[in-house]
Amino acid sequence: MNATSNNPWGTGRGNGKTVLLGEHAVVYGMPAIAAGISLGASARASAAERSSIRIGEQSSVAGDDSELSRALEQVCGELGAGPHSVEVEVNLPLGSGLGGSAAIGVAVARALLAARGEQEGEARVLAGAAAWERVFHGNPSGVDAAAAYSGSCIWFTKAGGPEPMFVAAPLELAICLAGPPASTKQMVENVRQLGERRPDLLGKSLAGIEVLVKNARLCIEAGDRSALGQLMNLNQMLLAGLFLSTPEIERACAVARDAGALGAKLTGAGGGGAVIALAEASAAPLEAAFREAGFTAFSTRIAASPAAGVKL
Ligand code: MEV
Q: Do 141 and 47 belong together in one domain?
A: yes
Is 35:153 a contact under the CB 8 Å cutoff?
yes
Average pLDDT, stretch 124-141?
92
Does the beta carbon of 266 lie inside 6 Å of ligand 1?
Answer: no
Predicted pLDDT of residue 96: 87
Among 20, 143, 156, which residue has the most ligand 1 atoms within 8 Å of its CB, making it the best to mutate? Answer: 143
Between 250 and 94, whose confidence is greater? 250
Q: Quick check: 296 pLDDT over 50?
A: yes
How high is the pLDDT of residue 95?
Answer: 82
189 and 146 share one domain: no
Domain that holds residue 66: 10-164
Q: Is residue 258 part of a domain?
A: yes
Give pLDDT, residue 309. 62
Note whether residue 310 is domain-resident. Answer: no
Identify whether residues 159 and 180 lie together within a single domain.
no
Q: How remote is the CA of residue 5 from the centroid of ligand 1, in Å? A: 39
pLDDT tens for each residue of 253-295: 999 999 999 999 999 999 999 999 999 999 999 999 999 999 9
- Total domains in the chain come to 2
| 159 and 241 assigned to the same domain | no
Give the Cα separation of 234 and 140 in Å (integer): 24
Calpha distance 139→254 (Å, rounded)? 32
From 164, 194, 227, the end of a domain falls on: 164
Note the pTM of the prediction, 2 decimals. Answer: 0.94
Mean pLDDT of 40-49: 96
| Per-residue pLDDT at 218 exceeds 80 | yes
Both 136 and 28 in one domain: the answer is yes
Is the residue at 2 inside a domain? no
Q: Do 134 and 220 have their domain in common?
A: no
Residues 6+ apart with CB under 8 A from 294: none
Query: What confidence category does residue 312 fall into, taking pLDDT thresholds of 50, 70 and 90?
Result: very low
CA atoms within a 13 Å half-sphere pointing along the CA-CB vector of 274: 28
CATH code for the domain of 132:
3.30.230.10
Q: Worst-scoring range by mean pLDDT, 20-34, 52-66, 223-237?
A: 52-66
* CATH at residue 210: 3.30.70.890
Residue 201 lies in a domain: yes
Q: Are residues 34 and 135 in the same domain?
A: yes
